[in-house]
Amino acid sequence: MLEPIKIKENFASEIKKNGVALINHQVLSDETIEKVKNILDENNAYSPIDKLVLPSSLTQKLVSLLKFNFSKFKTSNYLKKISEDLNLPEIAELYFDNKTILRQIDCYKSKKSNSFVIPWHCDKAHSGQKLVKKSELTHPGKFNLKFFFFLTDVNAKNGSLAYLPKSHHVVWALKICMLKNELDYKPFWALKDCRNLLMEKNIYKKVKNYVDEETIEDFLEKSSFLEESDDTQKFDLSIPKGGLLIFNELGFHRGSQPLVNNRYALRFFYNI
C-alpha cells in the first residue's frame, strides 16, 4: 500500500499559476519502481513509438479482454490502483475544480543517449502541422494534467524534464485567438516558433486581449535563450527516482539527454 500524496493547501493554485508542481521525494516504493521497470523491459517499450499504452477506461479494458490481451488488462488495473493509492484523482479534481477522468496511462524508457528525449515543445499544438482546418483546432480548455513519475534519478545532465513556468497561459491565449479566427493558424509546436509568433506586433496585440502583458513579456524573457542556443539548463528539474512532476500540458517542456543511464517514466493523464 502506497502512502497517499499529501495535498498542500495551495497545491492547485501553484499549478494553475506556474503550470507545474514538483514533489521532490520518492513517493513510489522501491518494489513498485522495479515492477514497472520490469514491465517496460519485458515489453521493449521505448519512447516515443513503442511506449506501452494501457487501457484506462472500462471500454478500453473490455477491448483488451476481447483481444485476449490479459497482460495489458492486469497491468492497467495494477497501475490504476497506484494512481488511486497516491491520491492522484483527488489532486486532479482539486486542480480542475470538477470531476475528472483518467484518460491515459502509459510508460516508456529512453535509451542512454547524447540526444534529447524530446526538444522544447507544446503537447497541444497540433504537432506543428503547417495547415490545420478550423475543425481540427482544439479548444485550449481541452488539455491533460499530467502526472509524470520518474523511475530513475534525473537531472539536467541525465534525462530531466524542463518546464517553462507560466508558458501555459500564453499557449492558452494563442489557441483562443486561432480558434476565434482572430489569428490564422501557424505552427507553434516548437518553442522557437511560438516565440517568433509572439514577437510579431499584430499577434502580440491579439494575444494581449486574453492574457496580461506581464505574462507575455515573462514568456519572451524566459525563452530569450533561443537567441543564442537551442537549449538551456535553467529550467531543468532534478528529481529522484520515484519522484513526481505534475504539469499542465499546454506549457512548453522538454526532456534532456539521458547521458548516464536509461530513463524510465510512468505517466497518468487526467482531464474533465
pLDDT digits (tens, 9 = 90+) for 213-264: 999 999 999 999 999 999 999 999 999 999 999 999 999 999 999 999 999 9
**What type of residue is 256?**
S
Asked if 244 and 148 count as a contact pair (C-beta separation under 8 A), the reply is yes
Strand partners, 268: 105, 147
Question: What are 12-47's pLDDT values in tens digits?
Answer: 889 999 999 999 999 999 999 999 999 999 998 888
Cell matching residue 173: 491565449
Can you list the alpha helix ranges (DSSP code H) found in 208-246? 213-222
Q: What is the pLDDT of residue 100?
A: 96
Query: Which one is predicted more confidently, 241 or 65?
Result: 241
Would you say the pTM of this structure is higher than 0.85? yes
> What grid cell was written down for 129?
502541422
Confidence tier at 63 by pLDDT (50, 70, 90):
low
The backbone region for 242, taken as left when phi is positive above 0, alpha when psi lies in -120 to 50, beta otherwise, is: left
Residue 138 has what pLDDT?
A: 87
CA–CA separation, 205 and 115 (whole Å): 37
Quick one: pLDDT at residue 68?
Answer: 53
pLDDT value at position 70? 66
Q: According to the model, what pLDDT value does residue 47 have? A: 82
